[in-house]
Amino acid sequence: MPERKRVAVLADSDTRWKWGATTARRLVPDHELTGYLLRGRATPTARQLGEVGVRAGRPTEVTCAEFLAEIGREHYDVVVLALVGGAVQAVLHGARALWPAPARRPVLVTGYVGVVYEKLADGLLLRHGADLVLANSRHDAERFRAVYEGVGADAGAVTETALPFLGGAPYEPAGSRAHTVVFAVQPSVPDSRADRAYLLERAAGHARKHPGREVLIKLRSKPGEHTTHLEEQPYQRLAERVRGGLPANCRLVYGNMGEVLDGADLLVTVSSTAALESLHRSIPTAVLTDLGIREALGNHHFLGSGCLASWDQLDAGLLPEGDPVWLAAQGVRPAGATSAGPAAGEDVAAHGPRTPGPSAPGPSAPGPSAPGPSAPGPHDHDPYALARAKVAGLLAAARLPAPAPYYTLTTAPGYLPGILARHRLAPDGTPQPGAARSEAGESRLRRRLRTHLREAARGVYRHGVQRVAPLIRRLGEL
């Protein structure tokens, strides 16, 4: 019996942990997963980790330097970097310092957790140097290759896949009317208090106009928790100021998005990746145009999707359906039309009867330079077939070349050192003195004390972001 592959996933937020863990299961179905969380402002709580729907042990919290020491000491076959671009770049340069010459090293994989609508060139060049840079659609793969080729960098790592957590039972229409409407909110889109209050008022107004419908405001985090993006204006606090309060058929909910969608008849959002999850299941999906179609909102990504709509149109009964051509280009295939099945590791039984499940708020294998476009045949049925083949080929190699990021001290001497310094790495990718703390010999009490102090510091930071910063901003406008 072949030995199970060891996979390490390093993530810096709840959604990226979800992406990283489900990507690992798609790439290496039979593996031993070890999870790590990069210490920072968005480090998720245990509640947030439990909500993303990934069945795995509690990840270990580490710094970049500590993670590099770990993968240098322990043998991992594959390392999935589910991080922002700067952190990916730091790990890649750290890996290059660990393996400066061809060696037996882990396969390095990275990508994006959802819709890529901003900082395309910056984010991609910070990810260059990984063995696989996963693109969630044909559209993204073409854009990614164009960026790399445009600067003369090797684009062979770009690999077309799909969002790894697309799954769930196909939508069964509830008739000509929507009975359960899910408004999937986002932490930072829109960012202004007035715009967020407007959207919440419209959702409440929709519930009042349609007393036979249940409107669920799907929240990402509780006050004091952070996600990938900063949330200065939590909807929980805005809901306290809704005129007349939220109607009885409109409520705030938490929970795993897949379970919330189990009971949805209409998904409404500004530009959340939840729209792609909903479209995959053929659930009517509306991408709001109330605040305009703007790059800053991300809803421009959905041009041509057939889903752009306003609250006025939804109030009048519109149930938008996705355009098949657009869906195919975005790597979103209706669940009933693909043989890929639910996401690897997903609990299929959880997607049986369509009953609402949210919880209410309460206390030959190509090498590193394999050619770009995927073969049209089997990839149509399994979007991860090509990526698995690439990983298998790299694992079969006796040695892999040293990681070769595009950014070096020659190509970006005024940019790269600052990125590495933020993660306490020297310009050559080696850890700065004292960056990798050793806890050997420390008492359990000392480790617990450090953990509590760290959590307290995060609490102060989050309080400042969500309470103090908005107050100072308002005072400055007087």
Reported as a single tens digit per residue, the pLDDT across 205-214 is 999 999 999 9
HSE-CB of 13 using CA atoms within 13 angstroms:
19
Q: How many CB atoms lie within 10 A of CB 145?
A: 20
Q: How do residues 35-59 score in pLDDT, each as one tens digit?
A: 999 998 777 877 778 777 677 778 9
What is the Cα–Cα distance from 216 to 207, expressed in whole angstroms?
A: 9
Query: 369 vs 456, which has greater pLDDT?
Result: 456
Q: How do residues 136-184 score in pLDDT, each as one tens digit?
A: 999 999 999 999 999 999 999 999 999 999 989 999 887 767 799 999 9
Nearest-10 crossing angle of helices 64-73, 85-98: 40
For residues 91-117, average pLDDT:
96
pLDDT at 17 over 90: yes
What is the Cα–Cα distance from 386 to 373, expressed in whole angstroms?
A: 10
Single-letter amino acid code for the residue at 285: T
Which residues fall within 8 angstroms of residue 216, CB to CB, at 6 or more apart? Answer: 180, 181, 182, 183, 250, 251, 252, 253, 260, 264, 356, 358
- What is the DSSP annotation of 373-441? SPPSTGGGT-TTHHHHHHHHHHHHSS-BPPP--S--TTT-TTTHHHHHHHTTB-TTSPBPTT-S---TT
How far is C-alpha 415 from the geometric centre of its chain's CA atoms?
Answer: 25
Q: How do residues 105-130 score in pLDDT, each as one tens digit?
A: 999 999 999 888 889 999 999 999 99
Q: How do residues 204-238 score in pLDDT, each as one tens digit?
A: 999 999 999 999 999 987 766 665 555 568 899 99
Would you say 88 and 370 are in contact if contact means Cβ atoms under 8 Å apart? no
Would you say 105 and 98 are in contact if contact means Cβ atoms under 8 Å apart? yes
Residue 31 β-bridge partners: 5
What average pLDDT does the chain have?
84
Q: How do residues 395-416 score in pLDDT, each as one tens digit?
A: 999 999 999 999 999 999 999 9
Q: Which tokens is 202 given?
A: 């419209």
Say what the pLDDT of residue 101 is: 97
Lowest mean pLDDT among 18-27, 114-123, 200-209, 310-319: 114-123
What is the Cα–Cα distance from 445 to 460, expressed in whole angstroms?
A: 23
Say what the pLDDT of residue 90 is: 98
Residue 34 β-bridge partners: 8
Secondary structure of residue 97 in the 3-state scheme? helix
pLDDT at 338 over 60: no
Would you say 152 and 329 are in contact if contact means Cβ atoms under 8 Å apart? no
Say what the pLDDT of residue 378 is: 35
Cβ-count burial 275-295 (b if 16+ within 10 Å, e if not): bbbbbbbbbbbbbbbbbebee
What is the Cα–Cα distance from 409 to 416, expressed in whole angstroms?
A: 7
Say what the pLDDT of residue 229 is: 52
For tokens 């037996």, the residue is 104
Say what the pLDDT of residue 341 is: 39
pLDDT at 276 over 50: yes
Q: How do residues 417-476 score in pLDDT, each as one tens digit?
A: 999 999 999 999 999 998 766 555 566 666 566 555 655 555 555 555 545 655 665 566
Specify the DSSP element, H or E, that contains 471.
helix 469-476
Say what the pLDDT of residue 475 is: 63
Say what the pLDDT of residue 380 is: 47
Secondary structure of residue 228 in the 3-state scheme? coil
Confidence of residue 356 (pLDDT cuts 50, 70, 90): very low
| Cα separation values, 125 from 134, 152, 366, Å | 13, 11, 22
Confidence of residue 23 (pLDDT cuts 50, 70, 90): very high
Task: Please tell me which of 316-320, 367-371, 454-458 the model is most confident about, judged by mean pLDDT.
Answer: 316-320
Nearest CA-CA partner of 128 in 419, 426, 351: 419
Say what the pLDDT of residue 375 is: 36
Q: Which tokens is 187 given?
A: 């932490």
pLDDT at 388 over 90: yes
